[in-house]
Amino acid sequence: MKDDNFLRENNARHLWHPMAHPRDMQENPPKIITGAEGVKITDLDGNRVIDGVAGLWCVNLGYSNDAVKEAIARQLTDLPYYSGFGGCTNPMAIEASYAVRDFFAADGMARVFFTSGGSDSVETCLRLARQYHRLRGQPTRTKYLSLKRGYHGTHLGGASVNGNNRFRVGYEPLLPGCFQLPAPYLYRNPFDETDPARLAQLIVQMAEDEILFQGPETIAAFIMEPILGAGGVIVPPASFMPAMRTLCDKHGILMIADEVITGFGRTGHWSGSRHWGVKPDMMSTAKGISSAYFPVGAALMSDKVAEVFETAGADGAIFHGYTYSAHPVGAAAVVACLKETLRLDTAANAGPRGDQLFAGLQRLQDRHAIIGDVRGGHGLMAGIELVSDRTAKTPLDAAAIKRIHEATYQAGAMVRIALNNIVMSPPLVITEAEVDALLSALDAGLAAV
């Protein structure tokens, strides 16, 4: 291992960091995280803080789950890799497919296609949605509907349905035939609508207008996060996802629930869709599927979708896949992680701890005028929207938000900046005292500006 000074001086010399300017990373070196235990991380400078973001919305079990670590180590000894291509598979892949299918059986999911992460899972759903329609004799159904402020990863398909311009402009032209609806975002929406049910109605009406304008026979799928994460923890009105489900059915459009963040207990339910009482046609998952102990994701298909592929002729073959689809070590991580997720009943902890976090943030709003909006209250996903003027809702400038982020870290918690929001998604095993500590650190961070 290189010494500390070497690491500090060279961290961005050859390494390009995701979602960052390479020069900025050279001039303002990122934190070098060297260790982790429970829900806390340690950096090279010796700081030990609560990980208020679970890595990147993913380390749901925290950093010290021995059962998952041991399962991975065992699998590395038994079979470190074999491909799922060319008529081969491995025992752990089969077991993992049962574990994942069983986990989402109540959501109507029947089949599992393993990937290496969330972007892969989204891409898999988008591609298979087109193939599904082609197999049903509707090859003109190639377009996608999605939501502004939605985040669906960074592959070309995912970026095309993304609803945040920052992830799009440098990479255009993206896929043609992708249309974004306004986000079901109460705090800011084009209608200045503050009634949740009415806002949902307006956006669903816009969706139907767009579908009819494009021609329903041209639209393959609608994709949404049950709660929008990277867009700043936007919680849709309760009626929104069910109404979109009805609309998709009316026009023969597949509904893809992007559960990369919301799956596996984060919302206080085992899936975000279940939280809203919706059964999607496909689900993209990752993150909590292995609690990030190994890079894995999965695309899931309902019976309705599976049947079309499984009863098709030669065209039903899936010419899509990844070298690491159903990687045996990843599959072992999934089996162990889901067993632990159920044993620890992490969704049951996410509910009350999420309520505690949300209530604490509301108290902070009384003390800090820069908090324009507080969002959450549905498990362990929460966000505060920072403004310089509450009445005008002027977004707080980026430099001030960075100062709050750093001051919060120095006070004992890692949080995450998303646009002009600070978002939190701690491990689902976080305790009451640790949520209080996270809130105190954020309180101190907010006081810094």
Ligand X SMILES: Cc1ncc(COP(=O)(O)O)c(C=O)c1O
Q: Rule CB under 6 A: which residues touch ligand X?
A: 117-119, 122, 151-153, 225, 229-230, 258, 260-261, 286
**Nearest approach, Cβ of 116 to ligand X (angstroms)?**
8
CA distance 72 to 67: 9
The residue among 122 and 241 lying less far from ligand X, judged by its C-beta, is: 122
Nearer to ligand X, 107 or 225 (CB): 225
**In 251-349, at which residue ranges do the beta strands (DSSP E only) sit?**
254-258, 282-285, 297-302
Between 117 and 328, name the residue whose CB sits nearer to ligand X: 117
Q: Which is nearer to ligand X, 118 or 268 (CB)?
A: 118
CB 273 within 8 A of CB 259: yes
User: Of 272 and 372, which has the nearer Cβ to ligand X?
Assistant: 272
Nearer to ligand X, 114 or 151 (CB): 151
- Per DSSP, the three-state class of 410 is helix
Residue written as tokens 């799956």?
263
Distance CA 271, CA 379 (A): 11
List the end-to-end C-alpha distance of the chain, in Å, as a whole number: 38
User: Residue with the closest Cβ to ligand X?
Assistant: 118
Q: H helices within 262-317, ranges in order?
A: 272-275, 303-310
State the Cα–Cα distance between residues 221 and 178, nearest whole angstrom: 10
Q: What are phi and psi of 382, to 5 degrees?
A: -145, 155
Q: Which is nearer to ligand X, 168 or 393 (CB)?
A: 168
b/e map 31-58, b = 16+ CB within 10 Å = eeeeebebbbbebbeeeebbbbbbbebb
* Full strand arrangement of the beta sheet holding 48-51: 33-37, 40-43, 48-51, 413-414
Residue 239's nearest CA partner among 211, 199, 272 is: 199
Beta carbon of residue 150, minimum distance to ligand X (angstroms, whole number): 7
Smallest gap from Cβ 392 to ligand X, in A, equals: 30
Q: How far is the CB of 18 from ligand X (least distance, A)?
A: 8
Are the beta carbons of 252 and 177 closer than 8 angstroms?
Answer: no
User: How far apart are CB 142 and ligand X at their closest, in Å?
Assistant: 21
For the bound state, the minimum distance from the C-beta of residue 68 to ligand X, rounded and expressed in Å, comes to 18
Based on CB atoms, which residue is closest to ligand X, 381 or 438? 381
Min CB(211)–ligand X separation in Å: 23
The CB-of-122 to ligand X minimum distance in angstroms stands at: 5
Separation in Å, CA 351 to CA 268, 289, 291, 332: 4, 19, 18, 28
